[in-house]
Structure 1
Amino acid sequence: MILVAYIKLTFHLFKGFWIVLWTFHQVSDSNKKKYVQNWCGQLLDIFQVRLEVFGGTIDDQFPALVVSNHISWLDIHVLNAYLPLRFVAKKEVSTWPIFGVMAKKIRTLFIDRQTKGDSRNISNAIVEAFKDGDQICIFPEGTSSDGTKVLPFHSGLFQSVINTQVPCIPVAISYQSVKTKKISTAPAFIGEMSLLQSIQSTLRESPLVVRLDIGEPLVGMSDRKVLSDKAREVIMLLRGGNNSAPK
């Protein structure tokens, strides 16, 4: 079964590569988003990951800063399967084979953690993206965890919300094993783990459920540190789950 999944994944990656290189420049922005959403949904199917969404919604007609905890390289594809977003990612992602090219083509903003002041530059770029009506997603932990906790948030990129007063929407991501019904750390992409190791771990653990809990928009705040702390608090509460049915 894992071999079959690898074959499907290989074809799917090249399909996505072909789409962003040869199709994107011919279609409208709305159709680009449909391509991204469908491709990411199909990727989850290959990994036997079922997406369930709880709580609020993200309106794609208005700019917003979407803030999420970060567990896996899959997180971006999970969120895009729900609603295509623009992301802020570490600079290293731009060098990944295939994924890096695709990330550039969907207008990912790359942040260089080693360059002093780059957070301010990215924050300014986010403000400009808001003017275009974009929804931008950040992972303010600055790294990924194993999914059992939410790491402290860096507040730098929250300045984009303070400057514009667009909504800040907290989203909690969690992965669960279908077999054990417990939180799964298999998709985690942490430490010195390679992308291939994370892919193998996820395939071995499948089928999985990935849960998105969308919180109410945070608005009207004037201090980025207060806002980042509040967003983290909401995400930790959302990870506690609820008894509502998925959408």
Structure 2
Amino acid sequence: MSRFLRYCYRAPLLLLHIVIGLPLILVLMGAWAARFHIGGERLDHWVAGAWSRILLRIFGLRTRRFGTPLPGAVLFVANHISWIDIIVLHSQCWMGFVAKAEIERWPLVGGVVTRAGTIYHHRGSNDSLHGVMHQMLQRLQAGLPVAVFPEGRTHSGEAVGVFHARIFQPAVLAGVPAQPVALRFGRRGEAQTVMAFGARESFVGNLLRVLGEPAREVEVHFLEPVPPSEDGRRKMADLCRRRIVEAMTAA
């Protein structure tokens, strides 16, 4: 199927998802929704997952999970390719993300990820970083999961960047494990560079480009957890990165 034909049927579906689905989802993710449950899961958390799965299908993306996400307080640690990473992870289970503050203003995803409990960081601000670390610690101590991208930014997909160890400190202080999560787009990760959010791309530009891409699979590998280390955050960061790299390069 040509890119033009993919646009012809995906664009109207995306428009419906925005015009009708988005306002409905935001209402269902209001503060009141925390009091209700579906299948043992909070209504607002369930809604975030359902909205994410629908959005992925509109973009022609099908998720395939390997392993099991830990329940309760855990620091999920993933490689970072694109804004879609957040949607992919939300489709698997609820987790509160740490993300750059600009995302709050992005169309389509900003409102949903904000309602889903995202902790926003203003880059270059030490005050903001201290606040983020404090919020992460509070959530982990309250038994809630937090997700981070330790590379600090999206990469081209050709390699996994260096993991910043500081972001692991709340897990060390809270005494909770970090679970590495490897995200592979396409068969054996062959679409990593295609799906990557380029440094010179705008959010809308990347969204439109990816909307026309062929349907493909997204592998989500929940890997062996890393316990809080007595040797500190650097050891946790290095071990998480090593496990993700191994999963990314596996046949």
Given candidates 39, 58, 61, the residue that maps to 2:69 is 58
Q: How does 1:153-232 map to 2 (within 5 A)?
A: 153-176=163-186, 182-222=190-230, 223-232=232-241
Asked if 1:14 corresponds to 2:23, the answer is no
- Once the two structures are TM-superposed, the CA of residue 98 in structure 1 deviates from its matched residue by 3.9
- Once the two structures are TM-superposed, the CA of residue 113 in structure 1 deviates from its matched residue by 1.4
Deviations 1:135-175 (A, max 9, x none): 11000101001222101111121000110110100001111
> Which residue identity is paired with 1:159?
Q
Deviations 1:40-77 (A, max 9, x none): 111111111110111x31133x1100000000111111
Structure 1 match to 2:38: none
What TM-score do you get using the length of structure 1 for normalisation?
0.89
- Once the two structures are TM-superposed, the CA of residue 31 in structure 1 deviates from its matched residue by 1.0
Asked if 1:106 corresponds to 2:125, the answer is no
What SS class does the counterpart of residue 157 from structure 1 fall into? helix
Asked if 1:32 corresponds to 2:38, the answer is no
CA distance in 2, matches of 1:236, 1:177: 16
Given candidates 127, 130, 151, the residue that maps to 2:161 is 151
Deviations 1:102-144 (A, max 9, x none): 2221110001111024323211111111132211100010100
CA distance in 1, matches of 2:242, 2:108: 35
What SS class does the counterpart of residue 149 from structure 1 fall into? coil
CA distance in 2, matches of 1:47, 1:75: 13
Structure 2 match to 1:68: 78
> Which residue identity is paired with 1:33?
H
CA distance in 1, matches of 2:166, 2:218: 28
The number of aligned residues is 238
What SS class does the counterpart of residue 126 from structure 2 fall into? coil
Q: Against the structure 1 CA distance between its residues 167 and 145, is the aligned structure 2 distance closer, same or farther, given a 3 Å change threshold? A: same
Structure 1 match to 2:139: 129
What SS class does the counterpart of residue 28 from structure 1 fall into? helix
- Once the two structures are TM-superposed, the CA of residue 233 in structure 1 deviates from its matched residue by 1.1
Large movers: runs of 4+ above 6 Å: none
Asked if 1:87 corresponds to 2:91, the answer is no
Asked if 1:240 corresponds to 2:245, the answer is no
What SS class does the counterpart of residue 110 from structure 1 fall into? strand
With 227-236 and 99-108 compared, the bigger mean Cα shift is at 99-108
> Does the CA-based 8 Å contact 2:80-2:149 persist in structure 1?
yes
- Once the two structures are TM-superposed, the CA of residue 182 in structure 1 deviates from its matched residue by 2.9
> Which residue identity is paired with 1:27?
A
CA distance in 1, matches of 2:10, 2:48: 20
| Greater helix share, structure number | 2
Alpha carbon RMSD of aligned pairs, Å? 1.9
Q: Against the structure 1 CA distance between its residues 63 and 204, is the aligned structure 2 distance closer, same or farther, given a 3 Å change threshold? A: same
